[in-house]
Amino acid sequence: MAPKVWRGRSILWRIGLVLIAMVLAIALIVSAALATNTEHLAAPDTDMPEVGAPEPALAALPEDAPVPAKSALDKLIAPLAADPVVGDLTGVVIDNATGEHLWAKDADRTRIPASSTKLLTALAAYSVLPADNTLPTTLARGEAEGELVVIPGGNVTTAAADESTFFPGADTLDDYVELAESTGETFTKITVAPGPYEGPEMADGWNEADIPGGYLTRVQPWMLDAGRVDPEETESPREGQPMYAAAVELGSRLDIAESGVKLSSSPVPVQDTIGAIDSGKMAERTRNILDDSDNVGADALCHEAAMHVTGIDHADPVSDGEAGHTDSESRVSIKEATDNILRVLRDKGVDIAGTTLADCSGMSRENRISADVLAQVLHLAAGPEANPQMRALLDGLPIAAGSGTLLDRFGAGSGAEDGAGWIRAKTGTLSGVSSLAGIVTTEDGRSLSFALMSEGTNPADARPGLDRIAALLRDCGCR
């Protein structure tokens, strides 16, 4: 079917304004509902009056909403930007309707971005991948008697539980068990063939101590729950060898001893394929990665984008009776994955001078991104040139005081309460580094993208300071 053609930027821009208004208004409604005591509600037997059709409550943001004046905005932000709690601050505010920079402070200076790096990763994913893209993990019969061969395809979100836990919509390990058992054969060993990832498995700037700390694990193309030891805990310690751990767990469910499980670095001879299990859809995974800032998922996502560009993700994993990805043309490295992100940004007209990426999650202190690049990425998703799939990036951003990594921020007594429900933003935190980049609608109905980056101070102090600046944008008439 031919792709839908959107006629005119003004139509798409109005649609985008409606989407932004809807997600923000819904956030407020949900927050209010959660805060309401429901004990006074009518008992089940109470006769309730008939409710008529509701009146429309949501409308597009006005296209002619006043633009904050640069001088007024600068005067308002200056005291907060000079507060020692935010340390050495850089930042920028962009008007989404026009792309005009309304406020900037050293916006071109590159900094350690921490997890706000994921904005670039998500942009690349939404730019090159279909929203419903999935990654297959294939099972095959090995040539050796009783051998089950697993051919990884880049899916790190398989759920260990019988229902998807951390990643909604994910495939489950029981799916693999059922597929293997559907053959009626008894398997006594498992061999994991080489997957589509090229080494090294640790990015420059990563620390192995962060594996038991729950922040990352080795970049491998098949995992359970992104390598979590406890899939119900967001910050659970990660497996040191997550692909091996997944194979061992599959083996245990098929009554195969750990001694019968191995990872192969060379092609594995197979008789034929049994079938494949697909991951959850890209859009669902990306939404989760942004909301909860999952590092392992983010690094897998940018590998997926690079694999899709080269056609690796859906290539036949068996060739001439051998399973696995072993040559360089069928594998993607961390460097190739990060290079793909930079290529996407360049193709979209973003000035990436000085931008360097050692990973796609932001765990590396080798990354360098400017506040202006972060805000431009958000503007690409929120501005008049964005298509519906690009706008999906905004849907994954945490809501101030409402979800994800912003759930406990912008709350009562924070000094940033006015931003609650009106700001959607990606956070970033490493030792001595804090960032906040997102979108906000002013009280006059103007949509803005912003990015704030702090260095040289305790993140516990910097975060509230960044929140107060963002909340100020919500309050701003600034005329």
75 is catalytic: no
115 is catalytic: yes
pLDDT for 60: 63
Q: Which of 279, 293, 364, 434 is catalytic?
A: 293
Overall number of domains in the chain: 2
My answer on whether 212 and 252 are in the same domain is: yes
Q: Which of 105, 116, 118, 426 is catalytic?
A: 118
pLDDT for 8: 33
pLDDT for 162: 87
Q: Which of 105, 115, 116, 361 is catalytic?
A: 115
CATH number of 109's domain? 3.40.710.10
My answer on whether 287 and 140 are in the same domain is: yes
pLDDT for 327: 81
My answer on whether 107 and 219 are in the same domain is: no
pLDDT for 75: 96
Asked if residue 445 is part of any domain, the answer here is yes
My answer on whether 317 and 392 are in the same domain is: no
Secondary structure in 3-state letters for the chain: CCCCCCCCHHHHHHHHHHHHHHHHHHHHHHHHHHHCCCCCCCCCCCCCCCCCCCCCCCCCCCCCCCCCCHHHHHHHHHHHHCCHHHCEEEEEEEECCCCCEEEEECCCCEECCHHHHHHHHHHHHHHHCCCCCCCEEEEEEECCCCEEEEECCCEEEEECCCCCCCCCCCCEHHHHHHHHHCCCCCCCEEEECCCCECCCCCCCCCCHHHCCCCCCCCCCCEEEHHHECCCCCCCCCECCCHHHHHHHHHHHHCCCCHHHEEECCCCEEEEEEEEEEECCCHHHHHHHHHHHCCHHHHHHHHHHHHHHHHCCCCCCCEECCEECCCCHHHCECHHHHHHHHHHHHHHCCCCCCCCECCCCCCCCCCCEEEHHHHHHHHHHHHCCCCCHHHHHHHHCCCECCCCHHHCCCCCCCCCCHHHCCCEEEEEEEECCEEEEEEEEECCCCCEEEEEEEEECCCHHHHHHHHHHHHHHHHHCCCC
Print pLDDT tens along the chain (479 aa): 333 223 233 333 444 544 454 444 544 443 443 343 333 333 333 344 444 444 444 456 777 899 999 999 999 999 999 999 999 999 999 999 999 999 999 999 999 999 999 999 999 999 999 999 999 999 999 999 999 999 999 999 999 998 878 898 999 999 999 999 999 999 999 999 999 999 999 999 999 999 999 999 999 999 999 999 998 888 999 999 999 999 999 999 999 999 999 999 999 999 999 999 999 999 999 999 999 999 999 999 999 999 999 888 777 899 999 999 888 788 999 999 999 999 999 999 999 999 999 999 999 999 999 999 999 999 999 999 898 989 999 999 999 999 999 999 999 999 999 999 999 999 999 999 999 999 999 999 999 999 999 999 999 999 999 999 999 999 987 88
31 is catalytic: no
Asked if residue 389 is part of any domain, the answer here is yes
pLDDT for 41: 31
My answer on whether 148 and 252 are in the same domain is: yes
